[in-house]
Amino acid sequence: MNKFEYVNAKHLADLPELLGPRWGESAILAGGTDLLDMLKERLIEPKRVVNIKNIKDLYGISNGNGIEIGALTTIATIAADPKIQGKYAVLSEAAASVATPQLRNMGTIGGNICQRPRCWYFRGKEFPCLKKGGSKCYSVEGLNQYNAILGGGPSFIVHPSDSAPALMALAASIEILGASGTQETAIADFFQLPVDNLRRENILKANQVVTKIMIPEPARGTRSTYLKFREKQSMDFAISSVAAVLQMSGNRVQKARIVLGGVASIPWRVKNSEAELEGKTLNAANIENAASVSVANALPLQHNGYKIQLTENLVRRALQSLS
């Protein structure tokens, strides 16, 4: 890695100035499980690394009407939290499916939603692809079995986070601190498609930091689950995953939020499937309809067409488990 200045930030308010206005000059260090790889591979060469782990305001889960999760709360803490397990099962299941115990102990929720893509051309220094300012996307004609089938182009990354689809299914909001104070944004507006922002995956500016995540109290009768398919069962990113949150009245679905992971450049909400469920009984026929439209708009590349059937199956199984 390159030589850099290492700053232990102590106060939240100092962060925007420490980070500065230009991408590439500084980097935020939370758990470091992604950032350290990026530094070691020289994919980023910042002049300054800002450690935020000494900022106490960024820790913890607070309960009120809904919950607020500090950006430095670890994935392990979220997976083990009894209130999250009880009321927000989709999030605790997603957190429990992340990586390994060691990585869940180090990795934070802020870092999990802000982690950079895993596309192997992006991670390989020898491939100056579009996302790194180059002139071509190597995935289009290359080894693209793990790339996006939805929302792709001109880059075909998939969003790697397991927590992000769960948070989107729970209609979470993100608090962001920047030079002009804090702002709150719906998680659906936080992530950006490559067509809107090729170089970055979310709306954060260089001098902004995620400070907390707010999740509304689920309505009575809400059930939820997260289902993930990965190649290595011991530890792997999602090849495809589904976060499903259903607000039920008896066996009738009042509201549905279904979000896919591992198949699109952002956590991908499938309103088609939700429409097949809302106002209807959660029975085999309606589940089948919801599953079959979930990837109806998919545009697979040469080697990732298998994700279509895989995702339909995951949606079907997730909904069956909630019936």
Of 28-36, 127-135, 279-287, 297-305, which segment contacts ligand FAD by CB under 6 A?
28-36
- Binding residues for ligand SF4, per CB under 6 A? 117, 119, 121-122, 129-131, 137-139, 147, 155-157
Q: Which residues pair with 259 in a beta bridge?
A: 243, 269
> Which of ligand FAD, ligand SF4, none does residue 129 bind to, with CB < 5 to 8 Å depending on kind?
ligand SF4
Distances from the Cα of 23 to the Cα of 79, 107, 207, 275, 311, angstroms:
32, 22, 8, 40, 35
144 scored as a contact of ligand FAD (CB under 6 A): no
Closest distance between ligand SF4 and the C-beta of residue 129, in Å? 3
92 scored as a contact of ligand FAD (CB under 6 A): no
Cβ-contact 244, 322 below 8 angstroms: yes
Nearest residue (CB) to ligand FAD, 256 versus 259 = 259
159 scored as a contact of ligand FAD (CB under 6 A): no
> Which of ligand FAD, ligand SF4, none does residue 111 bind to, with CB < 5 to 8 Å depending on kind?
ligand FAD
Nearest residue (CB) to ligand SF4, 61 versus 130 = 130
Distances from the Cα of 200 to the Cα of 44, 115, 156, 229, angstroms:
13, 11, 13, 26
Q: Give the one residue of 19, 99, 169, 187 binding ligand FAD; rule: CB under 6 A.
A: 99
150 scored as a contact of ligand FAD (CB under 6 A): no
Closest distance between ligand SF4 and the C-beta of residue 23, in Å? 16
27 scored as a contact of ligand FAD (CB under 6 A): yes
Using CB under 6 A as the criterion, which residues of the chain lie in contact with ligand FAD when the complex forms?
A: 27-35, 71, 75, 98-99, 103, 106-108, 110-112, 114-116, 160-162, 204, 209-210, 235-237
